[in-house]
Amino acid sequence: MYLKRLEMSGFKSFANRTEFKFVPGITAIVGPNGSGKSNVTDGIRWVLGEQSARSLRGAKMEDVIFAGSSDRKPVGFCEVSITFDNSEQRLAYDYPEITVTRRVYRSGESEYLLNKQPCRLKDINELFMDTGIGKEAYSVISQGKIDDILSTKSEDRRAIFEEAAGIVKYKTRKKDAQKKLEMTEQNLTRIHDLIHELE
Ligand code: ATP
């Protein structure tokens, strides 16, 4: 599985529709300071569900939409699509290519799409769980991230190894199952109380 394509439209400095095509191997993006190199990785994290405007180097989420320049008006919405090759079926999704799209409007409306079908962020998170791909995953190492990893608490560092080991999905399922169990126990207590009252 590899990153095949990234398309951005109205995202940060990419006012026009811009397409990056990647081939297997190493790709380097070079350019002068402020030309938008980091905006490319911001786009990758954003489409995979990043919710924190600060970690995308903005103050509010709307800051990801092209804000205009001396010769161009601001735009009303932005869209980023990321395409992965899935010909080896590494992701549990029965298609040779997987495209995730995120769109947000200045009004605050937003949507996620999986191969052009509307979906929830939860579906995207579940699909990429334990693959190392995701907004928090280790596939994107931004500036200063190595320092963060070295200085974080050991439990936080452990989360990185757990993702690499592929056990996050089991931990998530366990948490969901525990929540359901708790709810069922509460319902049972309520039923016992009702029976007690009726007797
Ligand atoms: P450096 O090499 O200094 O790290 P860089 O190539 O990584 O720079 P970025 O930080 O990706 O550059 O891009 C910064 C540019 O993006 C700035 O010129 C900034 O004005 C522009 N930019 C960021 N958000 C927006 C936005 N919402 N609308 C228009 N331009 C934006």
Task: From first to last of the 199 residues of the chain, give the pLDDT tens digit.
Answer: 889 999 999 999 999 999 999 988 889 999 999 999 999 999 999 999 988 888 888 888 899 999 999 999 999 999 999 999 999 888 888 899 999 999 999 998 999 999 999 999 999 988 888 787 877 667 787 777 777 778 778 887 887 788 778 788 888 889 999 999 999 999 999 999 999 999 8
Say how many Å lie between the CA of residue 192 and the centre of ligand 1.
61
Compute the distance from residue 12 Cα to the ligand 1 centre, in Å: 7
Residue 43 burial by CB count (10 A; 0-12/13-18/19+): exposed, middle or buried?
buried
Query: Any idea which residue has 């790709």 for tokens?
Result: 27
CA distances in angstroms from 108 to 47, 51, 90, listed in the order given:
16, 13, 34
CA of 69, closest atom in ligand 1? 29
ipTM associated with this complex: 0.95
25 Cβ below 6 A of ligand 1: no
Q: Tell me the residue type at 120.
A: R
pTM above threshold 0.90: no
- Residue identified by tokens 């970690």 is 55
Nearest CA to ligand 1 atom 13: 36
All residues at 6 or more sequence positions from 164 whose CB lies less than 8 Å from its CB, including other chains: 132, 138
Domain spans, the chain: 3-150
Instruction: Collect all residues with Cβ–Cβ distance below 8 Å to 129 and sequence separation of at least 6.
Output: 168, 169, 172
Shortest-distance atom of ligand 1 to CA 35: 6
Q: Is the CB of 34 under 6 A from ligand 1?
A: yes
Q: Is domain 3-150 in CATH 3.40.50.2300, yes or no?
A: no
